[in-house]
Amino acid sequence: MALIVQKFGGTSVRDRDRILNVARIVAGTRARGNDVVVVVSAQGDTTDDLIAKADEITHEANKREMDMLLSSGEQISIALLAMALQSIGCPAISLTGWQAGFRTDRAYTRARIKKLETERIESELSKNRVVVVAGFQGINRYDDITTLGRGGSDTSAVAIAAALHADLCQIYTDVDGVYTADPRLVPNARKLPSITFDEMLELATLGAQVLNNRSVELAKKYSVNLEVRSSLTDVPGTIVKEVADVEGMLINGVTKDVKVAVISILDVPDVPGVSFKVFSLLAQRKINVDIILQSIGRENNKDLIFTVALEDAEAARALLEENLARFGGHRVLVDTDVAKVSIVGAGIQSHPGVAARMFETLYENNINIRMISSSEIRVSVLIAKEEADRAVAAIHSEFFD
């Protein structure tokens, strides 16, 4: 008998039929002799509807009250799923975040889990019940309700799996696993049977929106085996774990990210401290900088070029123009017609030729590389946005066909 944590997102519980479908999956898992803890998100559009209600009243809602409001969403879905399980003869009980023992810090709307007190969940499991837990929420030390921010339900599921030493944490989603590329883009993309935490982290960061980063980090930290699988088709998904089964695979995936912008600060003085001033200013405003390129100084001037998330581009532009005199720069340019295409895989580290093969493929396809960045298991290039799909297909074909 194993202990399995199963997490279902908002679309998986969006209406009666989907809830009953989830109940059948959960009851089936229990019928095969497993203990099951289920983590669910708010139904379909519930969270958006609640945000709209708050927005009607004030555009600057207090964050504590926002968490009070939003946490009602999961409370509805856990009650409905518990009822659905009971209606098909599967003993079940629902628990809110605070009942399930989620203690967080006090950062409303983006709280971090500090501790999971598992007594209640364990007591319900010992009564042979499926425990249905509200994801995304907890309470802080003032007994006030907090929410965990984007992807919070994944994090809740992994935290439970870690605390209970679960054998497996299954993340049910719209797709049936992690693919070597976006199947909508690359028809012969392959589903990976397994992938390492580090590879998954690089993929998640790069725009493969299957799993939330925080949850993968947590899973890695506590060695929780994850499985990404579909709630609509009963096929094995992708296992995410410390060491992947398939060695020798050079790369695991090709991704593109078009939500990126290139910012260039032209003609800044080629003296020490300029980069520090620019990047510390951006960091103060919580704007993350990704790839950085600094031109070689000429005539005592240089250009500072870097990428930011598309949504931060205008804020970054305004901030830099305002402070341009402090850097001694002359002009700020923002280019949003760019895309970041990346390859991810543990093989990159051990096989030095992998990056070169990627660059060669782009060259053969006449695609110009504007910037490059790499980590031990990832190589990213910045190219023109209109060439991104062609680049992904060509690179995928080079490594997988």
Q: Catalog residues that contact its own copies under the rule CB under 8 A.
A: 16, 19-20, 50, 53-54, 56-58, 60-62, 64-66, 68-69, 71-73, 75-76, 78-80, 82-84, 86-87, 93-94, 96, 99, 120, 143-145
Nearest to 97 by CA among 126, 56, 125, 68: 68
Cα–Cα distance measured from residue 159 to residue 117, given in angstroms and rounded to the nearest whole number: 11
Contact 373, 199 (CB under 8 A): no
Q: How far is the CB of 100 from its own copies (least distance, A)?
A: 11
Q: How far is the CB of 10 from its own copies (least distance, A)?
A: 15
Q: How far is the CB of 308 from its own copies (least distance, A)?
A: 32
Q: How far is the CB of 316 from its own copies (least distance, A)?
A: 31
Nearer to its own copies, 83 or 258 (CB): 83
Local structure of 371: helix, strand or coil = strand
Give me the helices (H) in 92-196, please. 119-126, 152-163
Q: How far is the CB of 60 from its own copies (least distance, A)?
A: 8
Nearer to its own copies, 66 or 309 (CB): 66
Q: How far is the CB of 212 from its own copies (least distance, A)?
A: 24
Nearer to its own copies, 11 or 99 (CB): 99
| Residue 111, phi then psi, degrees to nearest 5 | -70, 155
Nearer to its own copies, 56 or 299 (CB): 56
Nearer to its own copies, 56 or 401 (CB): 56
Contact 332, 264 (CB under 8 A): yes
Strands (E), 10-128: 35-40, 92-95, 102-104, 113-116
Nearer to its own copies, 92 or 244 (CB): 92
Cα–Cα distance measured from residue 287 to residue 212, given in angstroms and rounded to the nearest whole number: 19
Contact 70, 36 (CB under 8 A): no
Nearer to its own copies, 93 or 162 (CB): 93
Give me the helices (H) in 285-332, please. 313-322, 324-327
| Residue 24, phi then psi, degrees to nearest 5 | -65, -40
Q: How far is the CB of 270 from its own copies (least distance, A)?
A: 51
